[in-house]
Amino acid sequence: MKFHFIFFLLIITTFGCSKLNDNEKPVITIISPSTNDTIPSSTSEVNLQFTATDDSALSSVILEINDLHGNNYFADSKALYGKNYSYKNSFIVLKNNKLRALVMKVILLDEAKNESVSSTSFYLAP
C-alpha cells in the first residue's frame, strides 16, 4: 500500500510540475496577408493564414483584424490542442472609396499561460 502511494505521488509530481516549468512562448508565423500587402477592394476576400507551434501544448488563439481607429473587421477564436496548429480562413472585403490600413493581430496561449502576440499591417485599396 505504501509503495502505491509513493508511486502515485511520484507520477503526480513528475507530470503535474511539467507545466510549471514551461517558460517558452509559442511561436506564430503569419503567412497571409504579408506585411504592407495592398489588396484591391475588387477582390472579394482577404486570405488569412498562419501557423503556431509550442514545445509543450497550445491552449487557445484569438485573431482580430482592426483598422487604426479600433474598428473591428473580423474576429475569430478557438481552443487548441496539441503542439502544432495551422489556421486558414478568409473575410469578405467591403467596397471602400479610400485606402484603408488594417492590422491582423494573433494572440496565442499555451497550456502554461505563456503568451505570444504577432501582427501584420496591410491595406485595402479602393
Three cell numbers written together for 70: 479600433
Compute the average pLDDT of residues 4-27: 60
The CATH number linked to 79 is 2.60.40.2550
* Domain total of the chain: 1
Residue at 91 is within a domain: yes
Mean pLDDT of the chain: 86
| Confidence (pLDDT) at 61 | 98
Compute the average pLDDT of residues 26-52: 92
- pLDDT surpassing 90 at residue 109: yes
Query: pTM for the complete prediction?
Result: 0.81
At 58, which amino acid appears?
L
pLDDT per position as a tens digit, 41-95: 777 789 999 999 999 999 999 999 999 999 999 999 999 999 999 999 998 887 7
Residue at 53 is within a domain: yes
| Confidence (pLDDT) at 56 | 92
Residue-number span of the structural domain to which 89 is assigned: 23-125
